[in-house]
Amino acid sequence: MELRVETVTQKRLDYDQGVLEEKIRNRSAKLGVIGLGYVGLPLAIAMAEKGFRVTGIDIDGAKVESFNAGISYVLDVPNESLCSMVVSGVMRATQSFAAVESLDTISICVPTPLRKTKDPDLSYIKAAVEAVHNHLRPGKLIVLESTTYPGTTREIVLPILERTGLKAGRDFFLAYSPERVDPGNKSFTSSNIPKVVGGVTARCTELATLLYQQFVERIVAVSSPETAEMVKLLENTFRSVNIALANEMARMCGKLHINVWEVIEAAKTKPFGFMPFYPGPGLGGHCLPVDSYYLTWKARMNGFEPRLIELAAVINNQMPGFMVDRIADALNKRKKSLNGSRILALGIAYKSDVNDTRESAALEVVRLLMEGGANVSYSDPYVAKVDIDGKILASAGLTPRLLQSMDCVVILTDHSVFDYAMIAADSPLVLDCRHSLKDFSGPNILSF
């Protein structure tokens, strides 16, 4: 009798798995995205464009309201794309996690910041997973996309979901698939960036792969969620370490009176064995300044000292201070002190042509300049205002008159809409941290 009950139960579970697979294939599955930021919103759009009905969930009421009004707050998502999906009824957003009950798949795209101690802060992931747990039913697929350390999916997410009594790989399905978006990149989007997928069981991997195959051109299935989690950290740590090398080379070339930009341009003509990376005022964004700390924390917890990775973080974190020293030195040579000088920061976003200021090195440069007594203003067409240690600064319109009124102009973010000819011509002194004025020359233009 006991054997028969187990057999009947197994047949029911096999049938449930088949139902989910068929719903994904015929695109009748209802998809959900938790976290409607720079990752979640483009993902939701990619899903809806392929015929799925998508529900976005976010605790930020302003985002939900903007989403449902068809007004995009992410530069990579045009208002027209979002509005058409909302008006047609294939997309909606809500603050209520009760919506999870009616969904077949849930992609979790919430932030994973650092604590002040530089340790991982998984509070957003845990809160999202707890909310899913409260509404979990058999037959659902949950995919974590937030960048995190290896082991998070199996060690943190899985136990919370299995507290329901349901079993992953049998009653519900769990996988990890790291987000790989590059804000501002027009060539690579959520649809054509290859998607890495690793499930806690083979069946979980199969179903997650099937889901993403519906709206992503290429899927790369790996053996486990730990592998998929490590893939993302390797990608961004690779960039962090190489940017640190570029930053150190820039400072070294400065000491040797060599143009580092010319060195890099010449080196990248080698058709093999070299990939160009470029110096700047420091790392920024939601990944690069954070991800290496997730990796080094996990390594130390397992008795390994990742010295190269930690040193790269130290070098990159020194760059805002180095830039401020460079500005102070340039002013000093013109018989001016940093204290009391009028300085204009061009660009406050963490990279060109985005409105994202998370972990922006430009913010740290401005903060240090203000700390040194400078009278700082900024101009950024994508960021209307910023809060620097409680002081609100508003973006100024970039004009010849504004440039001419400054003691120093510093290019921190190389937005393509800036008029660099005007900047070169009308700035009494300009420090170019991004090689934006490569086509201009003059005694007023300084680089590294």
What SS3 state is found at 273?
A: coil
Q: Which residues pair with 31 in a beta bridge?
A: 54, 105
Task: Report how far apart, in Å, the C-alpha atoms of 109 and of each of 56, 67, 194, 379 are.
Answer: 10, 16, 17, 31
What SS3 state is found at 361?
A: helix
DSSP 314-333: HHHHHHHHHHHHHHHHHHHT
Structure tokens at 168: 């992953």
CB 85 within 8 A of CB 79: no
Q: What is the DSSP pairing of strand 342-346 with strand 219-221? A: unpaired
Q: Give dist(CA 446, CA 205) in Å, integer.
A: 52
Cα-Cα-Cα-Cα dihedral sign, residues 38, 410, 288, 258:
positive
Main-chain dihedrals φ then ψ at residue 380, nearest 5 degrees: -150, 115
Structure tokens at 344: 């204009």
Closest CA to 111 of 212, 200, 197, 36: 36
| Residue 400 DSSP class | H
Q: How far is CA 115 from the centre of its chain?
A: 17
Which of 109, 204, 253, 287 is catalytic? The answer is: 287
Q: How many helices (H) and strands (E) does the chain have?
A: 15, 15
CB 175 within 8 A of CB 197: yes
Amino acid at residue number 357: T
CA angle 5, 6, 12 (to 5 degrees): 90
Please report which residue ranges of 186-259 form alpha helices under DSSP H: 202-213, 225-256
Q: Can 287 be counted among the known catalytic residues?
A: yes
CB 36 within 8 A of CB 56: yes
Closest CA to 177 of 140, 138, 231, 128: 231
Structure tokens at 83: 């509005």
Q: Give dist(CA 316, CA 70) in Å, integer.
A: 39
The count of other CB atoms within 10 Å of the CB of residue 110 is 24
Catalytic residue list: 287
